[in-house]
Homo-oligomer: A and B are copies of this chain.
């Protein structure tokens, strides 16, 4: 596979991510995608299977990276509070830096065929499972105090995922500031008032795993 082939592969993938995020899977036509990738619609099929395959690949890659990052943080984590803060920072950074991919993951589950949806859902469940264990561990250790463990976890994830829906790289706050604010609010939500030192490791992990 020549370098230019890989370039084209990435142009196609990039165009798909952008368009699927902007217009949705069903709202994006194959010709539109081809034009955005600088190819004819027939040529597109040298670089992908079907439109559905492309979507599936995007979603799976994105979720695998999230799971990978989360596992790394959990393995090297100190206590529940520190680990949860790291997860929040990582999740926020990923949803800000890879806004389009994560939006696709969040919005286009419904566009998948049942079989493929199951695969993707398994990945998403694996990711959420990591969060659940931390939240539950923190509650068990009475580091966290919440009205309801499950509701807290879901609310936490929705809050952090939402960053992808409003983040702009041109905003006044830096990504580090936004991530720290979320970490602080997350711990506050969980009734944990211990102040934590700022730490950019989780953000660095995102850039490592997703690429520059």
The residues of A with any CB-CB pair to B shorter than 8 Å are 22-27, 107, 110-111, 146-148, 150-152, 154-163, 165-166, 173, 177-178, 180-182, 184-185, 188-191
- 7 cross-chain pairs, A with B, having the tightest CB-CB distances, nearest first: A158-B162, A26-B26, A147-B181, A159-B159, A26-B27, A185-B189, A151-B181
Is A185 in contact with B146, judged by CB distance below 8 angstroms?
yes
Instruction: Tell me whether chain A's interface is mostly helix, strand or loop, or mixed.
Output: helix
Chain B residues positioned under 8 Å from A27 (CB to CB): 24-26, 110-111
Q: Is the CB of A24 within 8 A of B189?
A: no
Beta-carbon contact of B24 and A111 below 8 Å: yes
CB pairs A–B below 8 angstroms (10 shown): A23-B110, A24-B111, A27-B110, A151-B182, A155-B159, A155-B181, A158-B158, A158-B159, A159-B159, A188-B191
Q: Is the Cβ of B147 less than 8 Å from the Cβ of A158?
A: no
**How many chain copies does the complex carry?**
4
Q: How far is the CA of A100 from the CA of B27 in the complex (A)?
A: 20
Q: A147-B180, A162-B162 are in contact. List 19 more A-B contacts (CB 8 A).
A: A24-B110, A26-B26, A27-B110, A146-B185, A148-B177, A151-B181, A151-B182, A152-B185, A154-B162, A154-B166, A155-B181, A158-B158, A158-B161, A158-B162, A158-B163, A158-B166, A159-B159, A188-B188, A188-B189
- Residue in B24, B165, B166 whose CB lies within 8 Å of A24: B24
Complex alpha-carbon distance, A24 and B106, angstroms: 13
Of the listed residues A148, A157, A191, the one surrounded by the most CB atoms of chain B closer than 10 A to its CB is: A148
Which residues of chain B have C-beta atoms less than 8 A from A161's C-beta?
Answer: 158, 162
Task: For A159, give the chain B residue with the smallest CB separation.
Answer: B159
User: Cβ of A160: which chain B residues have Cβ within 8 Å of it?
Assistant: 155
Partner of A148, one of B23, B150, B151, B181: B181
Q: Which of B155, B163, B166, B182 contacts A162 (CB 8 A)?
A: B155
A24, A150, A173, A185: most-surrounded residue (chain B CB, <10 A): A185
Q: How far is the CA of A175 from the CA of B182 in the complex (A)?
A: 26
- Chain B residues with CB under 8 A of A178: 148, 151
